[in-house]
Structure 1
């Protein structure tokens, strides 16, 4: 059964959000031997940041990663409004995420020992 939108209610457009995710260790995660976890920079789509976070966490879990913490940095428009400069490569990855309605991992940095970022 296909859901039809209620009359008078517009479907909100997908946006791309920039997220930083800290992952812990899990069997089969593919992280290097000796790593205690990793930090990931990714672009995820959603009608809002909360949906993008849920989608990103679900995809990471399917990839046998163990998400511990997610920090949102906003949509492309929000980042531009804050004065951030976004280079062509980053824009291309965001455009790909939007076109494919996907989660794109742009960077993954394994943590070793005390490499984990400090909370606070």
Structure 2
């Protein structure tokens, strides 16, 4: 009889989130920016968990989260026929493997 435990399949998925942030002291956005947009890849058992984890991490980074727009899981995007760049998919899979949030792109916004 083996002492090894059976490997349990992960229920985690990776989600693409577009996060809009406002200004806050210490946010490291350019001086004249009015806010920013971040493309994030976050793991979670569902999109709501991925959003919660992303917001918590961004708040720790002194960012003022205004809105989060979910674009679905990697599987949902592929099923919908969305073309995903191999570099983006690699970042998504890294977020899934590390059970983390990855900020793939940050763009300053100006009025």
Q: TM-score, normalised by structure 1?
A: 0.83
Match of 1:64 in 2: 62
Deviation at 1:25, TM superposition (A): 0.3
Q: Distance in 2 between matches of 1:25 and 1:103?
A: 21
Deviations 1:44-69 (A, max 9, x none): 01000000000000000000001000
Q: Distance in 2 between matches of 1:45 and 1:95?
A: 9
Does residue 20 (structure 1) correspond to residue 18 (structure 2)? The answer is yes
Gap regions ≥5 residues in structure 1: 1-9, 114-120
Q: Which secondary structure state, in structure 1, belongs to the residue aligned with residue 28 of structure 2? A: coil
Deviation at 1:37, TM superposition (A): 0.3
Deviation at 1:12, TM superposition (A): 5.9
Superposition map of 1:6-17 within 5 A: 13-17=11-15
Deviation at 1:28, TM superposition (A): 0.3
Deviation at 1:22, TM superposition (A): 0.2
Q: Distance in 1 between matches of 2:49 and 2:22?
A: 22
Deviation at 1:32, TM superposition (A): 0.5
Superposition map of 1:43-58 within 5 A: 43-58=41-56
Deviations 1:11-52 (A, max 9, x none): 861110000000000010000111100001010010000000
Aligned residues: 104
Gap regions ≥5 residues in structure 2: 1-7
